[in-house]
Amino acid sequence: MYQSTIRDPGGNGLIRIRPDVCGQYAAVVNGSILIVPPGTTAFFAVNGLLSRAYGPGRYEIFTGVDPFFVRLQNILARGDTGTTVSVFFVSTEKSRFIKLGTGEFPFREHRFRLTMKALASCNLSFSISDPLKVLTKLVGSYSSAFSEEDIDPCVNQMVLAPVREAISSEIGKLDVSEFNSNLSHIGRKAAAAIRSGLLEYGIRMERFDIAAINIPDSEIRRLYALEQEYAGGKTRTDLELDNLQRVWNGNVNNRTVSEMMTGIHSRGQAPSGIPAGNPGGNAGGMAPVMMQMMMLSQMLPALREPLSEMTRHTDMFGGAASDSRESTSSADAPPPMPDRYRRCPSCNGNVMRSNSVCPICGYRFF
Protein backbone atom coordinates (compact mmCIF):
# COMPACT_ATOMS: atom_id res chain seq x y z
CA MET A 1 0.00 0.00 0.00
CA TYR A 2 1.42 3.39 -0.96
CA GLN A 3 0.91 6.74 0.79
CA SER A 4 -1.39 8.68 -1.48
CA THR A 5 -2.53 11.46 0.89
CA ILE A 6 -0.51 13.17 3.64
CA ARG A 7 -2.63 14.95 6.26
CA ASP A 8 -2.00 16.82 9.51
CA PRO A 9 -2.23 14.21 12.30
CA GLY A 10 -3.94 16.82 14.54
CA GLY A 11 -3.49 17.44 18.23
CA ASN A 12 -2.87 20.35 20.62
CA GLY A 13 0.85 20.69 19.99
CA LEU A 14 2.32 23.59 18.09
CA ILE A 15 4.39 21.12 16.04
CA ARG A 16 3.05 17.78 14.78
CA ILE A 17 5.07 15.14 12.96
CA ARG A 18 4.03 12.61 10.33
CA PRO A 19 6.99 10.24 10.50
CA ASP A 20 8.30 7.72 7.98
CA VAL A 21 6.12 8.54 5.02
CA CYS A 22 8.63 6.62 2.92
CA GLY A 23 8.80 3.42 4.88
CA GLN A 24 8.50 -0.21 3.89
CA TYR A 25 4.76 -0.11 3.30
CA ALA A 26 4.37 3.54 2.27
CA ALA A 27 6.03 5.85 -0.22
CA VAL A 28 5.70 9.31 -1.70
CA VAL A 29 5.34 8.88 -5.43
CA ASN A 30 3.92 10.81 -8.34
CA GLY A 31 0.35 11.78 -7.61
CA SER A 32 0.60 11.82 -3.82
CA ILE A 33 -1.35 14.63 -2.16
CA LEU A 34 -0.26 16.96 0.69
CA ILE A 35 -3.06 18.75 2.56
CA VAL A 36 -2.08 21.64 4.88
CA PRO A 37 -4.88 23.00 7.13
CA PRO A 38 -5.38 26.76 7.80
CA GLY A 39 -2.97 28.45 10.21
CA THR A 40 -0.36 25.77 9.52
CA THR A 41 2.90 25.53 7.58
CA ALA A 42 4.29 22.19 6.43
CA PHE A 43 7.88 21.12 5.77
CA PHE A 44 9.34 17.92 4.37
CA ALA A 45 12.50 16.70 6.11
CA VAL A 46 14.43 14.33 3.85
CA ASN A 47 17.37 12.74 5.65
CA GLY A 48 17.55 15.78 7.96
CA LEU A 49 17.31 18.43 5.21
CA LEU A 50 14.28 20.71 5.27
CA SER A 51 12.30 21.51 2.14
CA ARG A 52 10.62 24.79 1.30
CA ALA A 53 7.57 25.86 3.28
CA TYR A 54 4.10 24.72 2.21
CA GLY A 55 1.35 27.08 3.34
CA PRO A 56 -2.30 26.16 3.85
CA GLY A 57 -3.75 24.39 0.82
CA ARG A 58 -3.74 21.19 -1.27
CA TYR A 59 -0.56 20.17 -3.08
CA GLU A 60 0.08 17.37 -5.61
CA ILE A 61 3.54 15.95 -5.26
CA PHE A 62 5.68 15.09 -8.24
CA THR A 63 8.70 13.00 -7.35
CA GLY A 64 9.42 11.45 -10.71
CA VAL A 65 9.13 8.01 -9.16
CA ASP A 66 6.42 5.57 -10.28
CA PRO A 67 4.93 3.05 -7.90
CA PHE A 68 6.47 0.20 -9.87
CA PHE A 69 10.03 1.42 -9.26
CA VAL A 70 9.32 1.99 -5.58
CA ARG A 71 8.02 -1.56 -5.29
CA LEU A 72 11.09 -2.87 -7.13
CA GLN A 73 13.39 -0.86 -4.86
CA ASN A 74 11.69 -2.27 -1.77
CA ILE A 75 12.11 -5.77 -3.13
CA LEU A 76 15.81 -5.31 -3.92
CA ALA A 77 16.60 -3.48 -0.66
CA ARG A 78 14.41 -5.76 1.47
CA GLY A 79 12.20 -2.85 2.49
CA ASP A 80 15.02 -0.41 3.41
CA THR A 81 14.90 2.39 0.86
CA GLY A 82 17.81 4.31 2.40
CA THR A 83 15.69 7.43 2.66
CA THR A 84 13.98 8.88 5.74
CA VAL A 85 11.16 11.31 5.04
CA SER A 86 9.03 13.04 7.68
CA VAL A 87 6.51 15.85 7.40
CA PHE A 88 6.34 18.60 10.06
CA PHE A 89 3.10 20.57 10.50
CA VAL A 90 3.76 23.82 12.42
CA SER A 91 0.89 25.96 13.75
CA THR A 92 1.54 29.69 13.35
CA GLU A 93 -1.78 31.00 14.67
CA LYS A 94 -2.00 28.98 17.86
CA SER A 95 -0.60 29.90 21.27
CA ARG A 96 0.60 27.62 23.99
CA PHE A 97 0.55 28.24 27.74
CA ILE A 98 3.02 26.48 30.01
CA LYS A 99 3.98 26.60 33.69
CA LEU A 100 7.74 26.68 33.76
CA GLY A 101 10.10 25.88 36.63
CA THR A 102 13.54 27.35 36.05
CA GLY A 103 15.46 25.10 38.43
CA GLU A 104 18.45 26.48 40.33
CA PHE A 105 20.28 29.35 38.71
CA PRO A 106 22.98 31.67 40.14
CA PHE A 107 22.62 35.38 40.76
CA ARG A 108 24.79 38.09 42.32
CA GLU A 109 23.65 39.57 45.66
CA HIS A 110 24.50 43.26 45.23
CA ARG A 111 25.17 44.29 48.85
CA PHE A 112 27.78 41.69 49.87
CA ARG A 113 28.84 40.68 46.32
CA LEU A 114 27.77 37.14 47.18
CA THR A 115 26.96 34.51 44.56
CA MET A 116 23.71 32.78 45.54
CA LYS A 117 21.22 30.35 44.04
CA ALA A 118 17.55 30.92 43.36
CA LEU A 119 14.58 29.07 41.88
CA ALA A 120 11.68 30.68 40.02
CA SER A 121 8.25 29.57 38.88
CA CYS A 122 6.92 31.27 35.73
CA ASN A 123 3.85 31.37 33.51
CA LEU A 124 4.61 31.74 29.83
CA SER A 125 2.40 32.00 26.76
CA PHE A 126 4.09 31.83 23.36
CA SER A 127 3.52 31.06 19.69
CA ILE A 128 5.67 30.28 16.66
CA SER A 129 6.50 33.25 14.42
CA ASP A 130 9.15 31.69 12.14
CA PRO A 131 8.50 27.96 11.55
CA LEU A 132 11.64 27.42 9.50
CA LYS A 133 13.87 28.93 12.21
CA VAL A 134 12.16 26.84 14.88
CA LEU A 135 12.67 23.61 12.94
CA THR A 136 16.25 24.53 12.11
CA LYS A 137 17.03 25.02 15.82
CA LEU A 138 14.81 22.20 16.98
CA VAL A 139 15.45 19.46 14.46
CA GLY A 140 18.61 20.17 12.52
CA SER A 141 20.14 16.95 11.27
CA TYR A 142 17.72 14.87 13.27
CA SER A 143 17.59 11.11 13.36
CA SER A 144 14.63 8.94 12.48
CA ALA A 145 14.02 8.46 16.22
CA PHE A 146 12.92 12.10 16.62
CA SER A 147 9.19 12.06 17.42
CA GLU A 148 6.47 14.19 18.94
CA GLU A 149 7.49 13.10 22.44
CA ASP A 150 10.78 14.94 21.91
CA ILE A 151 9.20 18.25 20.86
CA ASP A 152 7.94 19.52 24.22
CA PRO A 153 11.24 18.93 26.11
CA CYS A 154 13.17 20.61 23.28
CA VAL A 155 10.84 23.63 23.19
CA ASN A 156 10.99 23.97 26.98
CA GLN A 157 14.79 24.04 26.89
CA MET A 158 14.75 26.67 24.15
CA VAL A 159 12.39 28.82 26.24
CA LEU A 160 14.23 28.18 29.51
CA ALA A 161 17.60 29.66 28.50
CA PRO A 162 16.50 33.32 28.01
CA VAL A 163 14.09 33.10 30.98
CA ARG A 164 16.84 32.06 33.43
CA GLU A 165 19.25 34.66 32.08
CA ALA A 166 16.77 37.53 32.31
CA ILE A 167 15.51 36.70 35.82
CA SER A 168 19.06 36.26 37.15
CA SER A 169 20.02 39.68 35.80
CA GLU A 170 16.99 41.47 37.27
CA ILE A 171 16.95 39.99 40.78
CA GLY A 172 20.63 40.86 41.18
CA LYS A 173 19.55 44.52 41.42
CA LEU A 174 17.23 43.98 44.42
CA ASP A 175 17.54 42.78 48.00
CA VAL A 176 16.52 39.19 48.67
CA SER A 177 13.66 40.37 50.90
CA GLU A 178 12.22 42.38 47.97
CA PHE A 179 11.95 39.52 45.47
CA ASN A 180 8.41 38.29 46.15
CA SER A 181 7.07 41.81 46.73
CA ASN A 182 8.25 42.90 43.26
CA LEU A 183 7.29 39.93 41.11
CA SER A 184 5.33 42.05 38.62
CA HIS A 185 8.17 44.56 38.36
CA ILE A 186 10.76 41.81 37.83
CA GLY A 187 8.51 40.14 35.24
CA ARG A 188 8.09 43.36 33.26
CA LYS A 189 11.82 44.09 33.32
CA ALA A 190 12.71 40.55 32.29
CA ALA A 191 10.05 40.33 29.57
CA ALA A 192 12.00 42.47 27.10
CA ALA A 193 15.11 40.31 27.37
CA ILE A 194 13.05 37.11 27.19
CA ARG A 195 11.19 38.32 24.11
CA SER A 196 14.41 39.08 22.22
CA GLY A 197 15.92 35.77 23.31
CA LEU A 198 12.94 33.76 22.08
CA LEU A 199 12.92 35.56 18.74
CA GLU A 200 16.32 34.04 18.02
CA TYR A 201 14.57 30.66 18.03
CA GLY A 202 11.62 31.87 15.95
CA ILE A 203 9.26 31.93 18.96
CA ARG A 204 7.04 34.91 19.78
CA MET A 205 6.33 35.60 23.46
CA GLU A 206 2.69 36.46 24.15
CA ARG A 207 2.77 36.86 27.94
CA PHE A 208 5.17 36.27 30.80
CA ASP A 209 4.55 36.30 34.57
CA ILE A 210 6.65 35.25 37.56
CA ALA A 211 4.68 33.29 40.15
CA ALA A 212 7.36 33.01 42.85
CA ILE A 213 11.09 33.29 43.50
CA ASN A 214 12.55 31.09 46.22
CA ILE A 215 15.98 30.96 47.84
CA PRO A 216 17.23 27.65 49.34
CA ASP A 217 17.51 27.59 53.15
CA SER A 218 21.27 27.05 53.06
CA GLU A 219 21.73 30.18 50.95
CA ILE A 220 19.48 32.24 53.26
CA ARG A 221 21.47 31.18 56.32
CA ARG A 222 24.71 32.34 54.67
CA LEU A 223 23.18 35.72 53.90
CA TYR A 224 21.68 36.16 57.39
CA ALA A 225 25.06 35.45 59.01
CA LEU A 226 26.71 38.15 56.90
CA GLU A 227 23.91 40.61 57.67
CA GLN A 228 24.29 40.07 61.42
CA GLU A 229 28.05 40.63 61.25
CA TYR A 230 27.55 43.75 59.16
CA ALA A 231 24.85 45.14 61.46
CA GLY A 232 26.99 44.56 64.57
CA GLY A 233 30.06 46.22 63.05
CA LYS A 234 28.02 49.10 61.68
CA THR A 235 26.43 49.75 65.08
CA ARG A 236 29.79 49.88 66.83
CA THR A 237 31.27 52.11 64.16
CA ASP A 238 28.31 54.49 64.30
CA LEU A 239 28.55 54.82 68.06
CA GLU A 240 32.27 55.57 67.94
CA LEU A 241 31.83 58.06 65.12
CA ASP A 242 28.97 59.77 66.95
CA ASN A 243 31.08 60.17 70.08
CA LEU A 244 33.96 61.65 68.09
CA GLN A 245 31.67 64.04 66.26
CA ARG A 246 30.21 65.24 69.54
CA VAL A 247 33.70 66.04 70.85
CA TRP A 248 35.04 67.57 67.64
CA ASN A 249 31.85 69.43 66.64
CA GLY A 250 31.45 67.29 63.53
CA ASN A 251 34.97 68.18 62.27
CA VAL A 252 36.47 64.68 62.57
CA ASN A 253 38.29 64.39 59.23
CA ASN A 254 40.41 67.53 59.73
CA ARG A 255 42.17 66.40 62.90
CA THR A 256 45.97 66.45 63.00
CA VAL A 257 48.07 63.49 64.14
CA SER A 258 48.75 65.06 67.54
CA GLU A 259 45.07 65.71 68.06
CA MET A 260 44.20 62.12 67.22
CA MET A 261 46.88 60.80 69.61
CA THR A 262 46.12 63.08 72.53
CA GLY A 263 42.45 63.88 71.97
CA ILE A 264 43.18 67.56 72.71
CA HIS A 265 42.54 70.42 70.33
CA SER A 266 45.64 72.21 69.10
CA ARG A 267 43.52 74.83 67.34
CA GLY A 268 40.97 77.01 69.04
CA GLN A 269 37.67 75.56 67.89
CA ALA A 270 34.52 77.11 69.21
CA PRO A 271 31.47 75.03 70.04
CA SER A 272 28.67 74.96 67.52
CA GLY A 273 26.70 78.20 67.58
CA ILE A 274 29.62 80.34 68.85
CA PRO A 275 32.05 81.71 66.26
CA ALA A 276 35.73 81.06 66.92
CA GLY A 277 37.79 84.09 67.94
CA ASN A 278 34.77 86.13 69.10
CA PRO A 279 36.11 89.61 69.82
CA GLY A 280 33.09 90.48 71.96
CA GLY A 281 34.25 88.48 74.95
CA ASN A 282 36.43 85.66 76.26
CA ALA A 283 33.76 82.97 76.05
CA GLY A 284 34.88 81.89 72.58
CA GLY A 285 38.54 81.66 73.65
CA MET A 286 37.88 79.94 76.99
CA ALA A 287 35.67 77.22 75.53
CA PRO A 288 38.52 75.16 73.99
CA VAL A 289 40.58 75.52 77.17
CA MET A 290 37.70 74.31 79.32
CA MET A 291 37.11 71.41 76.97
CA GLN A 292 40.81 70.42 77.13
CA MET A 293 40.72 70.50 80.93
CA MET A 294 37.61 68.36 81.01
CA MET A 295 39.12 65.83 78.63
CA LEU A 296 42.38 65.79 80.61
CA SER A 297 40.52 65.16 83.85
CA GLN A 298 38.77 62.24 82.18
CA MET A 299 42.05 60.82 80.88
CA LEU A 300 43.94 60.97 84.18
CA PRO A 301 42.23 57.98 85.87
CA ALA A 302 42.99 55.84 82.82
CA LEU A 303 46.66 56.96 82.80
CA ARG A 304 47.33 56.45 86.52
CA GLU A 305 47.57 52.68 86.42
CA PRO A 306 49.92 52.53 83.36
CA LEU A 307 52.15 55.19 84.95
CA SER A 308 52.22 53.29 88.23
CA GLU A 309 53.13 50.13 86.36
CA MET A 310 55.94 51.94 84.55
CA THR A 311 57.23 53.26 87.86
CA ARG A 312 57.21 49.79 89.39
CA HIS A 313 59.23 48.38 86.51
CA THR A 314 61.68 51.29 86.75
CA ASP A 315 62.26 50.63 90.47
CA MET A 316 62.65 46.93 89.85
CA PHE A 317 65.28 47.42 87.14
CA GLY A 318 67.08 49.96 89.28
CA GLY A 319 67.19 47.52 92.18
CA ALA A 320 68.49 44.75 89.96
CA ALA A 321 71.23 47.00 88.66
CA SER A 322 72.35 47.94 92.19
CA ASP A 323 72.38 44.26 93.21
CA SER A 324 74.63 43.40 90.28
CA ARG A 325 77.01 46.21 91.16
CA GLU A 326 77.21 44.98 94.77
CA SER A 327 77.97 41.44 93.67
CA THR A 328 80.76 42.40 91.27
CA SER A 329 82.50 44.95 93.51
CA SER A 330 84.84 43.71 96.22
CA ALA A 331 85.18 47.12 97.87
CA ASP A 332 82.66 48.71 100.13
CA ALA A 333 79.63 50.04 98.28
CA PRO A 334 79.43 53.82 98.02
CA PRO A 335 76.65 55.56 99.89
CA PRO A 336 73.34 55.57 97.98
CA MET A 337 72.54 58.53 95.81
CA PRO A 338 69.67 60.72 97.00
CA ASP A 339 66.41 59.97 95.20
CA ARG A 340 65.97 62.29 92.20
CA TYR A 341 62.23 61.68 92.00
CA ARG A 342 59.36 62.34 94.27
CA ARG A 343 55.76 61.19 94.24
CA CYS A 344 53.01 63.53 93.12
CA PRO A 345 50.26 63.49 95.77
CA SER A 346 47.66 64.15 93.06
CA CYS A 347 48.36 61.53 90.35
CA ASN A 348 50.92 59.33 92.22
CA GLY A 349 53.43 59.76 89.38
CA ASN A 350 57.24 60.14 89.56
CA VAL A 351 58.29 63.78 89.24
CA MET A 352 61.79 65.24 89.13
CA ARG A 353 62.60 67.04 92.38
CA SER A 354 63.64 70.10 90.42
CA ASN A 355 60.13 70.47 88.96
CA SER A 356 57.80 72.78 90.84
CA VAL A 357 54.76 71.60 88.84
CA CYS A 358 53.77 68.00 88.03
CA PRO A 359 53.99 67.60 84.22
CA ILE A 360 51.30 64.92 84.30
CA CYS A 361 48.47 66.46 86.25
CA GLY A 362 49.62 70.04 86.76
CA TYR A 363 49.81 69.82 90.58
CA ARG A 364 51.97 72.60 92.05
CA PHE A 365 54.41 71.64 94.80
CA PHE A 366 54.80 74.05 97.75
Sequence ranges of the domains in the chain: 5-91, 95-215
Residue 251 has pLDDT above 90, yes or no: no
Task: Count CA within 13 A, CB hemisphere, residue 213.
Answer: 30
Residues of 53-68 as b/e, b for ≥16 C-beta within 10 angstroms? ebeeeeeebeeeeeee
Instruction: Quote the CA–CA distance of 215 and 102 in Å, as a whole number.
Output: 13
Most confident of 59-63, 72-76, 201-205, 320-324: 201-205
Q: What is the pLDDT of residue 244?
A: 67
Q: What is the pLDDT of residue 208?
A: 92
Instruction: Quote the CA–CA distance of 117 and 176 in Å, as a whole number.
Output: 11
67-104 residue pLDDT tens: 655 666 665 556 566 677 888 999 999 999 989 899 89
Cβ(364)–Cβ(357) below 8 Å: yes
Question: What CATH number belongs to 95-215?
Answer: 3.30.479.30
Quote the radius of gyration of the chain (alpha carbons, Å): 45
29-71 residue pLDDT tens: 777 889 999 999 999 887 778 888 999 999 988 765 666 556 6
Q: What is the pLDDT of residue 321?
A: 45
41-to-38, 150, 200, 219, 224 alpha-carbon distances in Å: 8, 19, 19, 48, 54
Instruction: Quote the CA–CA distance of 360 and 348 in Å, as a whole number.
Output: 10
Instruction: Quote the CA–CA distance of 302 and 299 in Å, as a whole number.
Output: 5
